[in-house]
Structure formats: structure tokens, C-alpha cells
Amino acid sequence: MRRHLLLVPLFLAVLAAAPAPAAAQAGRIVGRVQLRERPARRAPNRYPGGGAAPARPVQGVPAVIYLEGAVAGASAGGARTATMAQHDTAFAPAAVVIPVGGTVVFPNDDPFFHNVFSYSTAERFDLGRYPRGESKSVQFDTPGVVKVYCEVHESMRAAVVVAENPFHTVVAADGSFTLTGVPPGRYTLVAWHVDLGEERTEVTVPAGGAARVDLTLD
């Protein structure tokens, strides 16, 4: 019995010195989004300032990829402030992703008035008209997609995606995307486009590996 008692401290010392089990290695999601885009619409300038103004093509907005909902062990992540300028009668950039509680700044770089607004369920706002050199901002507290427009220029449009996790990206011009550092597990991947709606698909991310997802929005 005495010999067994002497072994207990030694056993505990070995446990304390042993390294902790390594966390599961993060994986990634790679893929491509194919857009079956509709013919470009044109919109008139509501306030041409005298005389008829030619119609402008409605602004294109890139697709956005993101994981739906909160991800265990991951914060919302990403920069908490983004800038979406009004430049050359367009929003620049046309799509941004921010975490819940993040802020988007809307500076006016054009030599005329703009009025930025949204009627989206996730965030309704109307910043009123303001001139060149002025800037206004909006804090977004509800996850979801917020479509943004200009009351003065009907052709202008953009999107703010408010995310609950750091795994999101704006799709590249060639349709490709990559989400890195994703904990192993099963997720719902969402592809969203302003004209083509959204597509959800289930994806399983392997530890230290890559999951491939190809989607078509039409």
C-alpha cells in the first residue's frame, strides 16, 4: 500500500508535464460561383439638374459568400468599420461585409448631392441629402443583407452584408472564392447576389483540408 501511495505524486507530475491535445487543424472552403446574369437595366437620373439626362446602367454588385450563423469558438471577426464612398455616381465599393455591430461610413466624393438609404429589414435608414466633402455613417446591429440605394440617382445600388462570423468574402470577378481558417465541421454556406437571390448548400470542412463548392445563381 505504501508503494502505491508513493506512485501517486509521480503520476500527477507526469500528467502536468504532458502537452495538451492539439486543437483540430483548421480547413478551408474553395469554389466558384457562376452567375447567369440578366441583361443590364438602365435607369434615368431622377434629378438631372436641367434638361434631359441620359439613362445610366444600373450599378452591378458582386456576389458575396458567407457561412450562416455563429461559428463555435469564433468571434464575428473582421474590421468593424468599412467605407462605401459615393464616387462618380456609384457606390465604391459596391459590396462590403462587416461584423454585427460594425459601422459603414458613406462619404460623398461627387460634386453634387447624394441621399443614401435602405428599406431592408436588417437595417432601415435614410441619411438625407448631403454635398461633396460630407460623410455620414450607419451602425448595423442585425445580421443579414442590407441593400443600399441613392434617392437622387436611381442607377446607384450596393449591399452591406452583416455577418455573425469571420468566414465571408466578396466573390472575385472570375467567380472564385476562398474561406480560410474554418474550424472542422458542417456548415451552411450562403451565396448571395443582388439580382439572382441566394443559394444555400451544406458543406463539411475536413481538419487541415479543403472542401470544394461550386454554385450557380440564376
Over residues 106-117, mean pLDDT: 97
Over residues 81-105, mean pLDDT: 97
pLDDT band at 56, cuts 50/70/90?
confident
Mean pLDDT of the chain: 87
H-only helix segments in the chain: 2-17
- Residue 77: its pLDDT value, please? 67
Position with higher pLDDT, 23 vs 120: 120
Give the CATH class of 24-217. Answer: mainly beta
CA 160 to chain centre: 7
d(CA 61, CA 124): 19
Residue 6 confidence (pLDDT) above 60:
no
pTM value > 0.85: no
The H or E element containing residue 63 is none
List the domain boundaries for the chain. 24-217
Residue 52 confidence (pLDDT) above 70:
no
d(CA 167, CA 72): 12
The CA-to-CA distance between both ends of the chain, in Å, stands at 76
Residue 80 confidence (pLDDT) above 50:
yes
Q: Could you read off the pLDDT of 163-206 as tens digits, one per residue? A: 999 999 999 999 999 999 999 999 999 999 999 999 999 999 99
d(CA 92, CA 105): 11
Quickly tell me which residue has 447576389 as its cell.
Answer: 193
pLDDT band at 79, cuts 50/70/90?
confident
d(CA 199, CA 193): 9
d(CA 179, CA 171): 11
Q: Which amino acid is at 42?
A: R
